Amino acid sequence: MGANLLGPLAWGARRYYRQYKPGNARRIPEPKAIDLARIFSRFIPADLTTSLRDEGHFRWRYLEAPYRPELKFYTAGPENSPTHYLIARRTQAHGQTVTRILDVFGDFKDFTGLQDVISLAVQDAVSAGSNQVTVLVSTPRLVQVFKKSGFLISSGSRFCWNSTNPSLMASLAEDVYWTLGDSDNDSLE
């Protein structure tokens, strides 16, 4: 019954995204780790705890990953100085095409730029026939942006991160930002 009620909503969302015209978001077919790391380093808030996303991280986690052909990269903002990036993985799960937003980062105060890069990634997912687009959102500041971008259905998720460094663990009580890309548990089956 729930699927029947969601049918018209899903149809409307797919229609919207098929017609979406990006503002200044764009696809990046061959991203450079240094460019993604620069976006991260320019916009990391002092009060946010998250994984270090340096050049080595982007190479290891995404650019040299065994599933690299499944990854799609996007940026938003001025071409010579992007303000946001998004990394999505399109793959098969249970015989269905699914898209998972593994990482999104940038100027969290620029909601328009965030929505633009999210909408472009969702547009590509819709065009590729994805039946589902998922994301892990762990900060209240991003929940609203994703809701405005059409992510209306949500559920709780557990995410565990641990360190033997007591001061590092104490800092986790502050604002914490995790993404699906921070997880080693990316099995879809």
- 12 pLDDT higher than 70: no
Average pLDDT over all residues of the chain: 85
172 within a domain of the structure (yes/no): yes
Residue 9 has pLDDT above 80, yes or no: no
Residue 4 has pLDDT above 50, yes or no: no
Q: How many domains does the chain have?
A: 1
Query: Is the Cβ–Cβ distance between 137 and 146 less than 8 Å?
Result: yes
Return the pLDDT at 5.
44
Lowest mean pLDDT among 4-13, 62-71, 101-110: 4-13
In CATH, what number is assigned to the domain containing residue 62? 3.40.630.30
Examine residue 187 and state whether it is found in any structural domain, yes or no: no
d(CA 143, CA 175): 14
Look at residue 170 and tell me if it is in a domain: yes
Query: Is the pLDDT confidence value at 183 over 60?
Result: yes
Q: Residues 6 or more apart from 8 whose CB is under 8 A from it? A: none
Residue at 188 is within a domain: no
Whether residue 104 contacts residue 114, with contact meaning beta carbons closer than 8 Å, is answered with yes
**Looking at the domain assignment, is residue 142 inside a domain?**
yes
Flag whether 45 is in a domain: yes
3-state helix, strand, coil in the chain (%, to 5): 40, 20, 40
Which sign does the torsion angle of CA 174, 180, 181, 186 carry? Answer: positive
Residue 2 in domain: no
Position 92 pLDDT exceeds 70: yes
Question: Residue 123's domain spans which residues?
Answer: 11-182
| Domain-located, residue 117 | yes
The tens digit of pLDDT for each residue in 97-150 reads 999 999 999 999 999 999 999 999 999 999 999 988 999 888 888 888 888 888
